[in-house]
């Protein structure tokens, strides 16, 4: 397969969506011809992967943006899958200090035991650049209640790049991190007119999309207020305000990024 396929195994975020599972919270699987990566394996990530026919044991790299349960809960299970049931050192774990060691706000969310079995660990800090196979990964700054939170920008030699903001509020300069990216995935917790510190609303998304000018945008990681405000309506608002084609992700959405960016919606929510 040329390019990369993204599978949204969850489009929910925040405490009440996670508790109720009105939207799944399993993160995003990235499928490349030679390897797979999993981004933010929240609650249900393993089950949703298997239901989608995606073996956790095929994951070569695990990326966790910060130490909140809706982003890390299934992380240790994915480490066990990557390492053949903890029988051999294998795979790469990319995560910030809070996930690996804890900080003043959060406890570490991947145990020392599990970390000891990963072949390569990269502590993700803003403005760090590294590679996994032929994919260059750049970590972006986020402003969130976990002060070590980061976002990611992925660059592929054959298709260009896509980016993921993770949970963040708007701040001066955030658009520069994502300027010109082909596909921008934004964690938009709240609808317009309902700001929440440390998170993004549709109003914030308008500013970020306008500043970064991606080819296309996807909003995801919806909280309860966004869920009841109907995400497609918010996506339409963002598109109207920015001129950038924008869609609201649904559980099970598949996105193929090649010469074109193609969407295949599932029967998910």
Tens digits of per-residue pLDDT, 205-262? 999 999 999 999 999 999 999 999 999 999 999 999 999 999 999 999 999 999 999 9
Query: Minimal CA–CA distance to 65: which of 133, 131, 153?
Result: 153
Antiparallel, parallel or unpaired: β 200-201 and 183-190? parallel
Tens digits of per-residue pLDDT, 114-152? 999 999 999 999 999 999 999 999 999 999 999 999 999
**Any domain includes 165:** yes
Distance, first Cα to last Cα, the chain: 27
Domain of residue 35, residue span: 4-264
Q: How many domains does the chain have?
A: 1
**Any domain includes 186:** yes
pLDDT for the residue 172: 98
Tens digits of per-residue pLDDT, 89-112? 999 999 999 999 999 999 999 999
CA distance 42 to 27: 6
Q: Does the predicted model carry a pTM greater than 0.85?
A: yes
Q: What is the mean pLDDT of residues 31-37?
A: 92
Query: Minimal CA–CA distance to 44: which of 16, 5, 78, 80?
Result: 78
Q: What is the mean pLDDT of residues 50-55?
A: 96
pLDDT for the residue 265: 77
Q: Over pLDDT 90: what percentage of the chain?
A: 96
CATH classification of the domain holding 43: 3.60.15.10
**Any domain includes 269:** no
Beta carbons within 10 angstroms of residue 197's beta carbon: 8
């Amino acid at each position: 397969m040329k390019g990369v396929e993204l599978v949204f195994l969850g489009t929910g975020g925040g405490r009440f969506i996670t508790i109720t599972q009105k939207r799944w919270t399993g993160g995003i699987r990235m499928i490349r011809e030679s390897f797979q990566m999993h981004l933010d394996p929240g609650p249900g990530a393993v089950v949703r992967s298997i239901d989608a026919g995606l073996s956790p044991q095929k994951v070569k790299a695990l990326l966790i943006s910060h130490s909140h349960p809706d982003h890390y809960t299934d992380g240790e299970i994915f480490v066990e899958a990557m390492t053949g049931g903890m029988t051999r050192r294998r795979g790469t774990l990319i995560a910030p200090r809070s996930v690996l060691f804890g900080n003043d706000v959060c406890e570490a969310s991947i145990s020392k035991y599990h970390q000891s079995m990963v072949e390569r660990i990269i502590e993700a800090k803003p403005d760090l650049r590294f590679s996994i196979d032929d994919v260059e990964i750049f970590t972006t700054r986020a402003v969130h209640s976990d002060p070590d939170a980061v976002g990611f920008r992925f660059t592929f030699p054959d298709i260009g790049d896509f980016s993921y903001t993770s949970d963040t509020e708007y701040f001066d300069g955030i658009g520069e991190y994502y300027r010109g990216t082909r596909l921008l995935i934004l964690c938009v917790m709240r609808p317009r007119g309902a700001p929440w510190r440390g998170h993004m609303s549709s109003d914030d998304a308008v500013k970020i999309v306008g500043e970064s000018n991606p080819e296309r945008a996807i909003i995801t990681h919806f909280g309860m207020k966004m869920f009841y405000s109907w995400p497609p309506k918010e996506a339409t608002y963002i598109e109207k305000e920015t001129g950038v084609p924008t869609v609201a992700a649904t559980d099970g959405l598949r996105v193929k990024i090649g010469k074109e960016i193609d969407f295949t919606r599932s029967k998910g929510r």
